Structure 1
Amino acid sequence: VHTVTPPKAGADVGGSRMFGLGLGPTSELFDLLAAARTDHELVPGGEVADEPFPVLVGSGSAPIKVRVLGPYRIDVDGKEIRSGLRAKARELLAFYLLHPEGTTLDVATEALWPEADPGRGSEWFWTALGNLRSLLRGVTGTKALKIIERDGDRYRIEPVFDVDLWRFQAALPARGAHTGDPEWAAALEAAADLYSGELLAGVDWAWADVPREDLRRRAVDVLVAQAATRLVAGDARGALDALSHAVEVDPVAEQLYRRMMRLHAKQFHRDEVDATFRRLEVRLAELDLQPTPETRKLLQDLAE
């Protein structure tokens, strides 16, 4: 599983009981993890960044809560901000929430106003930020809010936000964590629960395409790993639920369907094997594609 900011999840707990995996379950675990990465070429979109983008660790006490997983939503004191915020002000906030390490003014204006000359883009940046500051200062009653503040030659998001994306990524197991550690499984469960939908769903901002696909891939990794840990624990039904969730996140990842078909076959769910294949056919048909010969052969093999 890739992480964005190595969190403290999985910190040492005195007296925790470790468990090991036998050769068969261990093989299944790594097969399942590797399998998740083989069919992403079917997903339309830009190049997925190899390196994760950093995030801040959100605080539940932050006055402004923002949802970017699923439909974009900004809340203050439990009430959604529905009016008064211009479209570009909302976009500016989202951009910096996804780039909390900060960016220069030029990078921000090129992303949000690619058609503008440098001088004009800078003017629009300050107009949008002014609208953002004015509204959020008013609804929070905090006149000192900067929302986005300057730090040298970069502008960074002010740490007054609780963002669902940050909580999702903070929950991811740390790179190098032991897969046999119960805390690793618990971190997977927490991260899976926190992934509530596609990044900025329904929003057509070009700069969001790469992080959207990056998060989609990370979510699938989490869910496949969750399925694997459930499977080796003897919870086949839970493993199938996790794989079904992964298919919802990446509906044309053919390898996921094959894993589900094999697992259904092991549980003697012949009807579900066929139903899973049909669901794949329908999904691929929407893109004028068909299941690969490998998947068709698997269907035949499982019928024998």
Structure 2
Amino acid sequence: MLRAMIVDDEELSVQRLGILLSESGELGLCAAFLNPAEAYEFAKTNPVDVAFLDISMPDIDGMLLSTLLHDLDDSIDIVFVTGHDEYAVQAFDRNALDYLLKPVTAERLSRTLDKIRKRHRFAAAAGSSAQVLLFNGLKLYRRERDQVQVKLRSPKTEELFAFLVCKGTVSREEIVDTLWSGLDKNKALKNLNSTLYYIRKAFDNGESDSFLAAGKHEISIREGALRCDLYEFERLLKQVRQAPEKQADLFRRAEALYTGRLLQGKDYEWAAELARSLERQYIELLEAGARFHIGINKPQQALHYFSEILKLDAMREDIHHEAIRLYAELGRKNEAFRQYRMMEEMLEKELGAKPDLRMKHFITKMGP
């Protein structure tokens, strides 16, 4: 059952809408708030499918709250509820699913529920149609729970598919300039069309149409219609940055998603900078996770995150220092010495340099 949240500073309105939703049997009410700030904090750590928002609220009005919620998760459906119909145009400018006038009636709410039902039926079908994993290579599954991978016809078909998934929406001109730069433009466009055909053909019953939209001038992956580890990772990065002090579980989820470099093993020039950028962001996330766990006195978990950073960037002398100090704090002197020797050898081999004297003194003070 879909999870609904109500936010309205009028208690009677909250109660009335809550009763109507309960009687409908369509949505499960996961939370109701009179304070929009509290609703926003709740949404940071709890999944919400549909948010019913009053527009006229103090401090954070419904329009602003809808923007904040979409920054957290752009798949949340927004339904505005208000006593003033002059907000209608502005509401739909915010990509609201619907707009309800108070007092809300069961008959009018049923039409809103129809819209929600149709939207989520499509999303569920699309979400089960294909899953793409871009970290640590390229893996494509016809359905999210399939164990057998879809094999595309050729390396160029794979590259076009990966390019479209990474770009989201891209012009035909940019595609041919990137993937068929050495060909005559007309021939390149023909190659593009035939390669798109082979992508579609890889799916039974034309199921690729549920996520692939090919127009005259541009081609796109329909938003929310494809399960992709890259998309989920980017959403989690955004959530962690907004409130890292409350997102311990998101650190773990992001780490589970980043199984290796983006499109690892694929020699795609266009993907190189994106892969480097994602790796940098992942390292920043790991460091944030380590600092967070130090702050809540969980040195073992912090040590785990520092160790993961060093697997990706062994040149980070500052992270070696952090790991050595944590080993010492945990009473694991042998591992602290071993970490120091690893750092010492790395600096000598790669830079012809010696460790920071302060760390050398720290190690010396630890004794044998």
Superposition TM-score, scaled by structure 2 size: 0.59
Where relative contact order (Cα < 8 A, 6+ residues apart) is larger, the structure is 1
Structure 1 residue aligned with 2:154, among 86, 104, 110?
86
1:48-63 mapped onto 2 (5 Å cutoff): 61-63=127-129
Q: Which amino acid aligns with 2:312?
A: V
SS in 2 for 1:174: helix
TM-superposed deviation, 1:70: 1.1
User: Structure 2 CA distance, aligned partners of 1:144 and 1:206?
Assistant: 26
Is 1:216 aligned to residue 279 of structure 2? yes
TM-superposed deviation, 1:300: 1.1
User: Structure 2 CA distance, aligned partners of 1:283 and 1:204?
Assistant: 28
Which segment is superposed worse, 223-232 or 156-165?
156-165
1:124-143 mapped onto 2 (5 Å cutoff): 124-136=191-203, 138=204, 141-142=205-206
Structure 2 residue aligned with 1:95, among 159, 163, 167?
163
Question: Quick check: 1:198–1:249 contact (8 Å CA) kept in 2?
Answer: no
TM-superposed deviation, 1:128: 1.4
Could you say which residue in structure 2 is the equivalent of 1:7?
none
Question: Quick check: 1:63–1:161 contact (8 Å CA) kept in 2?
Answer: yes
1:1-304 mapped onto 2 (5 Å cutoff): 11-13=40-42, 61-77=127-143, 78-81=146-149, 83-100=151-168, 102-136=169-203, 138=204, 141-142=205-206, 145=209, 147-151=211-215, 153-159=217-223, 160-174=225-239, 177-180=242-245, 182=246, 184-280=247-343, 289-290=350-351, 292-293=353-354, 295-304=355-364
User: Unpaired runs of 5+ in structure 1?
Assistant: 1-9, 17-54
TM-superposed deviation, 1:251: 3.6
Could you say which residue in structure 1 is the equivalent of 2:99?
none
Percent identity reads 18
TM-superposed deviation, 1:79: 3.5
User: Structure 2 CA distance, aligned partners of 1:96 and 1:169?
Assistant: 16
Number of aligned pairs?
Answer: 247
TM-superposed deviation, 1:179: 4.1
Cα offsets for 1:251-283 (capped at 9, x unmatched) = 433332232123223334332233223444666
Distance 1:207 1:188, change over 3 A: same
TM-superposed deviation, 1:196: 1.7
SS in 2 for 1:149: strand
Q: Which protein is richer in helix relative to its size?
A: 2
Distance 1:242 1:121, change over 3 A: same
Distance 1:126 1:278, change over 3 A: farther
TM-superposed deviation, 1:97: 0.9
Question: Quick check: 1:261–1:276 contact (8 Å CA) kept in 2?
Answer: yes
Q: Which amino acid aligns with 2:157?
A: A
Question: Quick check: 1:262–1:273 contact (8 Å CA) kept in 2?
Answer: yes
Q: Which amino acid aligns with 1:162?
A: R
Distance 1:217 1:104, change over 3 A: same
User: Structure 2 CA distance, aligned partners of 1:291 and 1:177?
Assistant: 40
Question: Quick check: 1:89–1:128 contact (8 Å CA) kept in 2?
Answer: yes
Q: Which amino acid aligns with 2:226?
A: F
Q: Which amino acid aligns with 1:13?
A: F
User: Structure 2 CA distance, aligned partners of 1:176 and 1:106?
Assistant: 35
Cα offsets for 1:17-63 (capped at 9, x unmatched) = xxxxxxxxxxxxxxxxxxxxxxxxxxxxxxxxxxxxxx986979331
SS in 1 for 2:127: coil
Q: Which amino acid aligns with 2:258?
A: Y
TM-superposed deviation, 1:301: 2.2
TM-superposed deviation, 1:240: 0.4
Q: Which amino acid aligns with 2:217?
A: D
When Rg is computed on C-alpha atoms for both structures, the one with the higher figure is 2
Q: Which amino acid aligns with 1:165?
A: L
Cα offsets for 1:95-145 (capped at 9, x unmatched) = 111111x11112112222233332332222122111111112x2xx23672
User: Structure 2 CA distance, aligned partners of 1:300 and 1:283?
Assistant: 15
User: Unpaired runs of 5+ in structure 2?
Assistant: 1-38, 46-72, 76-122
Distance 1:121 1:259, change over 3 A: farther
